[in-house]
């Protein structure tokens, strides 16, 4: 299927997402904050989708998305925000940096994975 980058400072969320995505046949690369996420994107040029949290140490998810949006090699990768944050201002900011879906934690695995698969099929993965 597709290689997906999961960026979240919660080890539990990363583990759960990894489990859910691998069960669907996807390959998962993990990062613990936005800075590490950018590093993983540089090291894995075949990532097809990013699932990212907002609140993380070192670099938050919105800043990471801003960096991705400015990079010609990365800015076509669809981004799904998976976060406890739900403010319209943050959503608008995320959208301006390429976020195409915003999912609030806690998430339902079937709904999230279904959405991810739909996005991947739409973006030709």
Stretch 24-45: mean pLDDT:
97
What's the CATH superfamily of 3-122? Answer: Response regulator (3.40.50.2300)
Is the CB of residue 61 less than 8 Å from the CB of residue 69? Answer: no
Stretch 94-107: mean pLDDT:
95
Q: Output the pTM of the full model.
A: 0.96
| Amino acid 123: pLDDT | 83
Q: What is the tens place of the pLDDT at every residue in 44-82?
A: 999 999 999 999 999 999 999 999 999 999 999 999 999
């Amino acid at each position: 299927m597709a290689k997906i980058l999961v960026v979240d400072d919660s080890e539990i969320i990363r583990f759960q997402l990894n489990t859910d995505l691998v069960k669907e046949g996807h390959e998962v690369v993990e990062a613990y904050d936005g800075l590490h996420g950018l590093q993983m994107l540089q090291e894995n040029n075949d990532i097809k989708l990013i699932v990212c949290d907002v609140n993380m140490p070192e670099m938050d998810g919105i800043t990471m998305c801003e960096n991705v949006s400015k990079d010609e090699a990365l800015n076509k990768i669809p981004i799904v925000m998976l976060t406890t944050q739900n403010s319209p201002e943050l959503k608008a900011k995320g959208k301006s940096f390429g976020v195409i879906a915003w999912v609030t934690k806690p998430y339902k695995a079937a709904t999230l994975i279904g959405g991810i698969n739909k996005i991947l099929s739409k973006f030709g993965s």
